[in-house]
Amino acid sequence: MGMSEFYGKGSEEESIQVIHRAIELGVSLIDTADMYGRGANEKLVGKALSGGRRDKVVLATKFGILRTDDPKERGISGKPEYVKQACDASLQRLGVDHIDLYYQHRVDPNTPIEDTMGALKELVEAGKIRAVGLSEAAPETIRRACRVHPVAALQTEYSLWSREPEQELIPLCRELGITFVAYSPLGRGFLTGAIKSPDDFAPDDFRQFNPRFQGENFQKNIELVKQVEQMAHEKGVTPSQLALAWILAHGLDIVPIPGTKHLKYLEQNVAALDVDISDAEVERLNRILPLNAAAGGRYTQDQMRAVNG
């Protein structure tokens, strides 16, 4: 996502280098969405995967968030006819003949999930997609969806400072055999320790409008991150590696998807796989950042209406 929008300006050349290097390092899941850069990110990913790299990865993209020329305007659609149109458009932008994992990005409150899943089932039968995913879906929605067609993955925000999925969603995924994909595992960059001031953001960086990055919330959250930084320093790793190791310690069925525009941070993130973290260290991190420890909502009030749908 950050390669095309939301986190300041990126370089297409470096972004493609990052994707190529990720594949060299063994990263096998590439995650995009049609709304990232209003299609630009899918085109970027398609370009990066050309030349024989397509079959080396599981390619995931998403549909369902509607964009207009106004960057602040959002709509949601899970209407069957829209699902099929969106899939065809994504296939064209990506330059591929099938999508491995196709997510509903946000649940449409005005379309029964059974109708949306029915359309996705037809796309599987047509060979256009291999597996179906949901993003930010509520437990009952997930159960209803599974009655129509298997759900392979649930993608929801999960990190040291967004631990809500531990209450219902992760246990439900384990009950139903669904992989849990943790997006924003580094707290939108906050858990890296690199963000020291609200002034660190570019003018078009959406984080400056996020409640956790504003005013008193920012200062309270910085104090929490300082404790993570201290623990990382003691272990001789970076804060981001420690935060990723914490997620990885929760089981192989939980897959974090850290995003970056830069080779340096990609290589740091992949090295988190080599960080040994003990049960005692996991518990220490749990005490530093217990459930609901982060100050402020993970989205604005308007945006929160679209999550856990």
Nearest to 104 by CA among 148, 73, 47: 148
Helix-then-strand count for the chain, H and E: 11, 9
Kindly state which CATH superfamily the domain 12-190+243-276 is placed in: NADP-dependent oxidoreductase domain (3.20.20.100)
The domain segmentation of the chain, as residue ranges, is 12-190+243-276
Query: Could you tell me the two tokens for 155?
Result: 């993608």
User: Catalytic residue at 36?
Assistant: yes
Total number of residues shown for the chain? 309
pLDDT at 263: 94
Kindly name the residue from 36, 103, 265, 299 that is annotated as catalytic. Answer: 36
Q: Is the pLDDT of residue 12 over 80?
A: yes
DSSP type of residue 203: T
Please state, for a pLDDT cut of 70, what percent of the chain lies above it. 90
**Half-sphere exposure (CA, 13 Å, Cβ side) for 51?**
8
Between 211 and 111, residue with greater pLDDT: 111
Query: What would the DSSP string read from start to end of 230-266?
Result: HHHHHHTS-HHHHHHHHHHTT-TTEEE----SSHHHH
Q: Confidence class of residue 61 from pLDDT cuts 50, 70 and 90?
A: very high
Mean pLDDT across the stretch 253-281?
96
| C-alpha of 128 from chain center | 22
What predicted TM-score, i.e. pTM, was given to this entire model?
A: 0.90
Average pLDDT, the chain: 91
Within 8 A by CB and 6+ apart from 79, the residues are: 108, 111, 115, 116
pLDDT, tens digit, for every residue of 117-166? Answer: 999 999 999 999 999 999 999 999 999 999 999 999 999 999 999 999 99
